[in-house]
Structure formats: C-alpha cells, structure tokens
Amino acid sequence: MKKHMLLFTPLILITLLLPADLNASDIGVAKALSNAFADIAEDVSPSVVTITSEHVYKHPALDQYKGFQEMFPKQLWPFLPDGNREMKSTSLGSGIIISKDGYILTNNHVVEKGENIKVQFSDNKEYDAEVIGADPKTDVALIKVDAKNLKPIKMGDSDKIRVGEWVLAIGSPFSGSLSQTVTQGIVSATGRSSVGLNDYENFIQTDAAINPGNSGGALVNLDGELVGMNSAIASRSGGYQGIGFAIPINLVNRIVEDLQANGRVTRAWLGVYVQPVSAAMAKTLGMDIAKGALVQQVVDGSPADDANLKQLDVIIEFDGHEVENSRKLPILVSTQRPNEKKKLKVLREGKIKTITVKLGELPDEVTAAGPLEVEKSDIGLTVENSSAERLRFYNLAPGSEGVLVTSVERDSEAYEKNIRAGYLIQKMGPNVKNLSKVTTSRAFEKNLQAYNPDDTILLLVRRDNANTFFVALTIPD
C-alpha cells in the first residue's frame, strides 16, 4: 500500500498545483511550448556529436611494486602490478559541428593530451579526428574529421542572451550510450567570472542539467541558435546540482578564427594591472557607486603607458562596453586583436576622460589586463623610516620612497586587506585628489591623527619592486 501511495503522491501534488479553471487554451499554450522544445531538439541534435579520446600513462601507484616479483611464485608474475606497465584512460565529451566539411567545436579538456580521438555522429557513424588547435586559457578546442555534407549548427549571438531566458543543453552525459540527451532550463546568470576554471572566464550560468560528458556540447536558445558551449558544472557530488557553465559563443568564435588560421590564439594587450573598486575605495575616489577597474599599476612601455593611462584611473568603459568590475576588463581586452585602436572612458580625479589606446599583442608571460589579487583590508599597523639596510633586508630596491611597514595586527583591517610587514606605504590621503607622498614615520603618524573615527583613508602600497596597490581603510573608533 505504501508503495502505491508513493506513486500517487506526485500526481496528487501536480493536480493541486494546477489551476482549477484550466481550459483548452491553457493546454494549447503548454502543447505549443512542448512542441517548440521537441522541434528544437530535432533540428539541433544532428549537429551535436560524442567525442572519446584515449590517454596513455603510467600509474604512479604501481611503482611501489617494482622489484617485488621474486617474493611470489613465477606463476603469479603475469598478474602482479608492474610499475612500467602503461595504462589507458578514456575521456568522454561532446562536440558541435560548425561546418559542412568537418570542423567541430569542443572543450580543450576533452581532447587535451588525448590520442586516438573518435567522433560519433547522431546516425552512429564514427570518424577519426585531428586537433586543429586548442586554447587552454578559455578551454576551447577545434578538431576536424574527414567528412562532407555535415549539418552545421545555427549560430546565435550570446551578447543578446538574457537572464531568465529558456535554453536547451544537448550532449552526452556519463556515456556515449546517452548521446543526444536534451535538458531544459533557464539562463540563471551571465558574465560569471572568478569561477576558477579558466584564465579567461565570462560564463553563461544555467540550471539546465549538465553532467560529466556534456562538456563541449551545445547550449541553444528557443530559436535553435547556439549561444554557448557547455563547459563545466559546480557540484559537490560530481553530478548535476542546478549550476552549469557555458562559454559564450561570441567568445568561442573569436578563438576559432585564430585556431583555423594559425592553430594558436593571439590576444590584445592593454598593459595595466587592475583591482576592484570597493565601497570604501569608491568613497575616496569621489564615486557614487562602486564599479569599474581601478588602475593600480601601468606597465612601462605598454600600450596603456603610451596612451598616458595613469595610476588611480578608474576604467569604466572599454570600446563602448561598460566595465562593471575589474574581472570584466581582461575579457573585453582579450577578445580584441592586436594593433586595433580602442576608446576607453576613465574617471580621473573626479572627471570623465576619453582615451584612445592602440592595443599591443599579449606577451606569453602575462594576462591581458590581469588583475593582481588584492584582498579586502583595516588600520592597526606600525611603520618606520625606510633605511637602506631595511630596504635591503626586505629585497626592496635601494632608494625606494615611503615608510616601511614593520608589523600588522592580525585582527586589523590592514591585515585583512593584505598589508604585510615589509611593504612600503608610499602615498596617503582622504581621497584621490588629495594624495601626498609619505617619507617619514613621523609624518605618517601625524597624518593619521588628522582623521576622525569612521573616516576613510586611501593608501598607495608597494609590495615589492614591481607591484603596487591601493587600499582604502576606515579609521577605527
């Protein structure tokens, strides 16, 4: 009896949730939506493939058994683990057909280090594939099969996608036998960064079920257009928990152009290090709301240096796109091409300025606009004059100006905001317009005494010979 009750419970709940006056018109709307999903799935599924690749490796755990064969009868030797024995693992993923002549999109992690890459189509035909190029920084790869007259997917515009919009995810979760699996959900967020998956992150977040094996599959809108490539899930169990991430197709297309042409990606370079604008920082900068990317350092000889960008500028717009936060700037810059001229809007000393910059090519060793990690921070520190001996002790360049931080209380705001012993405080003031150099510990303490509790003070801090950052601290009671 209990078993039957369990079966009927969902039906009872559904009945209770349905409106009492449900009519033919309401049912017609539901059927129309259902048919729309079915039509999209039918149209898009032939453009989504299953990808498998093999990876040969030596299992490190087997090394511990090397040399112990003599302890066992010879009859057992063939069955003993061998430290030199090669092992194979197979990775599973999905892919998206983008051309009739065999070009296919997928994630870099699906084919990275892979051998014997196979692509299975919706009609169960299987082809060998070669990697044309890959970009680990965005987790995008382009592969090709020797096939003709394939059905490429219809491209959409990921810049137009809206939070709350319905989307379908198509791929091969868990195994190749589950290929062409279609799940439905909404776009739950856009512009997701700091997820910790790639160097350049601008994910579409969705609650459409995405599981291992869906990587490289298609995220499409209700027009059946590709708006994203499924890439990862946020999960504590390894399975679907309502948060999946897809790479916007506009970003993917930019990468693919380079991979098809050169097999590698070239990125534009601005040449600034930036940090977030906190609420306290905004107050010192004369901003009503905290937004934009605060320039904490301009690289000598960089495009930003040539364009006369300055420390303490707040970049609020790049090439017509709003820079909501410091994480947005690297993505905006990296999707451009070297030698292009772009206009920036910056807030400098309370005034908006428009600056034209000619972008360079990103050197291999840096990130496009790479934010230096700066954590939030409070006052509770002691300083001393920066003598030559003490500068040498902390590996700072001789003649560096500022007062040397000698200790920081662990429960202070300064410690929370990443100020440490051995750093130099070079400038201080109530806001961006009134920053002055600090040369002696006595001057530092005197300046502090001029502030009242709950006032905000802005500090320019040098952490080593190359990196500086700004910290806004609140004077404690």
pLDDT of residue 253: 93
Residue 135 and residue 177 in one domain: no
- Are 194 and 276 in contact by the 8 Å Cβ rule? The answer is no
Which structural domain range is residue 351 located in? 268-361
Residue 189 and residue 255 in one domain: yes
184 located within any domain: yes
Residue 94 and residue 175 in one domain: no
Residue 141 and residue 172 in one domain: no
CA atoms within 13 A on the CB side of 64: 2
Residue 395 and residue 416 in one domain: yes
Q: What is the CATH number of the domain that holds 332?
A: 2.30.42.10
Domain-ending residue, one of 361, 391, 414 = 361
pLDDT of residue 177: 77
Residue 178 and residue 213 in one domain: yes
Residue 51 and residue 124 in one domain: yes
- Are 273 and 307 in contact by the 8 Å Cβ rule? The answer is no
461 located within any domain: yes
Residue 54 and residue 128 in one domain: yes
- Per-10-residue mean pLDDT of the chain, 477 residues long, equals 45 51 74 87 94 69 50 56 60 92 93 86 92 91 94 95 94 81 92 77 89 90 95 68 88 92 88 87 87 89 93 92 89 91 93 94 62 47 81 80 87 86 90 86 84 88 87 86
CA angle 452, 457, 458 (to 5 degrees): 170
Helix, strand, coil content of the chain in percent (nearest 5): 25, 35, 40
pLDDT of residue 173: 84
Residue 106 and residue 188 in one domain: no
Query: Residue 225 corresponds to which tokens in the numbers above?
Result: 């257009």
Residue 282 and residue 254 in one domain: no
pLDDT of residue 243: 85
Q: Which helix (H) or strand (E) holds 202?
A: none
- Are 379 and 413 in contact by the 8 Å Cβ rule? The answer is yes
C-alpha–C-alpha distance, residues 466 and 402, integer Å: 15
Whole-prediction pTM: 0.68
Query: Residue 396 corresponds to which tokens in the numbers above?
Result: 């700072």
CA atoms within 13 A on the CB side of 17: 6
276 located within any domain: yes
159 located within any domain: yes
Domain count, the chain: 4
21 located within any domain: no
Domain-ending residue, one of 118, 145, 172 = 145
Active site residues: 109, 139, 215
C-beta atoms surrounding 56 within 10 Å? 12
pLDDT of residue 288: 87
pLDDT of residue 113: 74
Q: What is the CATH number of the domain that holds 213?
A: 2.40.10.10
316 located within any domain: yes
Domain-ending residue, one of 230, 262, 294 = 262
pLDDT of residue 346: 94
What single letter denotes the amino acid at residue 170?
I
Grouping H, G, I as helix, E, B as strand and the rest as coil, residue 396 is: coil
| Contact partners, residue 41, CB within 8 Å, separation at least 6 | 168, 170, 182
pLDDT of residue 224: 94
Residue 160 and residue 251 in one domain: yes
CA atoms within 13 A on the CB side of 268: 22
Query: Residue 247 corresponds to which tokens in the numbers above?
Result: 């790479």
42 located within any domain: no
31 located within any domain: no
